[in-house]
Amino acid sequence: MSHRTLPPATHGAGVPASATTMAPPPRTAAPPPSGNEPLSGSGSPSGSEPLSIWPRSAAPLGHDDLAVGGVPLTEIADRFGTPAYVLDEDEVRHRCRAYLRAFPGADVCYAAKAFLCRAMVHWVHEEGLGLDVCSAGELELAVTTGFPPERIVLHGNAKSPADLRAALRLGVGRIVIDSTSEIARLAAAVPAGSRQRVLVRVVPGIAAGGHAKIRTGTDDQKFGLSIADGSAQHAIARILSQPRLELVGLHCHLGSQITTVKPYLSAVRRLIGLLARIHEQHGVTLPELDLGGGHGIAYRPGEPALDLPSLSTKIRAELAGGCAAAGLPVPRLAVEPGRAIAGPAGVVLYRVLAVKRTGAHTFVAVDGGMSDNPRPALYGVRYAPRLIGRRPSAAPEPVTVVGRHCEAGDVLAADVPLPGDIRPGDLLAVPVAGAYHLSMASGYNLVGRPPVIAVTEGHARLLVRRESLADIQERDIGL
């Protein structure tokens, strides 16, 4: 398998921040999967089996328990408490490798915003992926963990001066320009005698994504520069006039939770058109094209997921054909999966605190909620929780799983089937919980954020400890 790393940023009289391009280290841990199956919730091909959306390592233990990564989930709950996030290391690695297989020679950059911790940085690095970050915080965590900065891309629609200073100081491979005001600010911050490689985030005017709040390819949202109104072309001309900025390509991100290939093909066609206009007007051939991420996954059995091999095959064909027609060389491709790598590798465990029957509704309240998973409240996401730890004696009936917070909208799973005898003390496991849960967690009601536990080959280890009341109180220093 080939892998092309991002070229290093240059600093100080054009000298590369790293004298040599850092090759990915040898890959270890989980053996590569066989076949070339589409990435969905698990290794189950049909998506309809009870465990189809769980990590591939998920296995029933008798009639009342489930193991992930060879570790019983009840054992994890007893040892680490609840709520708790369980992350299957081998599933993360499997998904990284599936992307590299599907996009040989391309830059595959893990989107850190989905979930980031030092172990995740280490796994992604070992598997040979790049990294895209959105803040100085994510950037510093990655670099201090040992991730090569020349393989990092910095995003953000409103980068702070601290974000830009950190990116230049650490030597990130790419900075994505998201607004015209950022051009002069960044150019002024680049040290004299050096150049910073940049991409321009363009808006192609394509509506795609699982919810209106996560669609970013249209002109009515905060990201990027529009092709339709000329903003992108104006920004490109300004960047090309800056001697300290080196424009190397276009960037486009259509949105999140996209489950069909068609929007990406439409984006490729419009971006090739822009590349052709740039070549015609400025005599410049841009060598890179970053199509972002947003690759959809299944959160419940039977839901659609983006077919990764189909995505790769069709994008490459569209890119090759379009560039040939425009008389352009095919640019180096980049993709930025986040959710599709981390999401299906995670499981969250909750303990039932109360069961309340009000009229025709049954509410099952757990010891977490919107402070550790705001996505149902934000986007109406639906999950498939499962009772583990005991054998039920009643048939399933529809219930609504709610959190412990003082909000009517603190609902984790509405109208889902759970045993009719569910009671306080029961343990619930919710799959597909690895992305945009802990990374979006809050301190609402001063409830500490849950821990993250990695599982692999029958062993569990703590990656991120539980946030304690002492942690919260130590930040409060004034009277």
Annotated binding-site residue? 338: yes
> Is 96 an annotated catalytic residue?
no
Give phi and psi for 375, each to the nearest 5. Answer: -65, -40
Residue with tokens 């959306």: 53
**Comparing C-alpha atoms, which of 112, 145, 85, 144 is closest to residue 467?**
85
Annotated binding-site residue? 322: no
> One-letter amino acid identity for 99?
Y
- Written in H, E and C, the secondary structure of the chain is CCCCCCCCCEECCCEECCCCCCCCCCCCCCCCCCCCCCCCCCCCCCCCCCCCCCCCCCEEECCCEEEECCEEHHHHHHHHCCCEEEEEHHHHHHHHHHHHHHCCCCEEEEEHHHCCCHHHHHHHHHCCCEEEECCHHHHHHHHHCCCCHHHEEECCCCCCHHHHHHHHHHCCCEEEECCHHHHHHHHHHCCCCCCEEEEEEEECCCCCCCCHHHECCCCCCCCCEECCCCHHHHHHHHHHCCCCEEEEEEECCCECCECCCHHHHHHHHHHHHHHHHHHHHHCCCCCEEECCCCECCCCCCCCCCCCHHHHHHHHHHHHHHHHHHHCCCCCEEEECCCHHHHHHHEEEEEEEEEEEEECCEEEEEECCCCCCCCHHHHHCCCCCCEEECCCCCCCEEEEEEECCCCCCCCEEEEEEEEECCCCCCCEEEEECCCCCCHHHCCCHHHCCCCCEEEEECCEEEEEECCCCHHHHHHCCCCC
> 246 - beta bridge partners?
197
Task: Output the six-digit token pair for 181.
Answer: 């005001």
**Comparing C-alpha atoms, which of 231, 235, 226, 182 is closest to residue 206?**
226
Among residues 109, 134, 323, 406, the one annotated as catalytic is: 406
Annotated binding-site residue? 436: yes
Alpha carbons 130 and 135: distance in angstroms, whole number: 16
8 Å CB contact between 342 and 86: no
Annotated binding-site residue? 294: yes
Annotated binding-site residue? 110: no
- Annotated catalytic residues are 406
Question: Which positions make up the binding site for pyridoxal 5'-phosphate?
Answer: 294, 336-339, 436
- Binding site residue list for substrate: 339, 375, 379, 407, 436
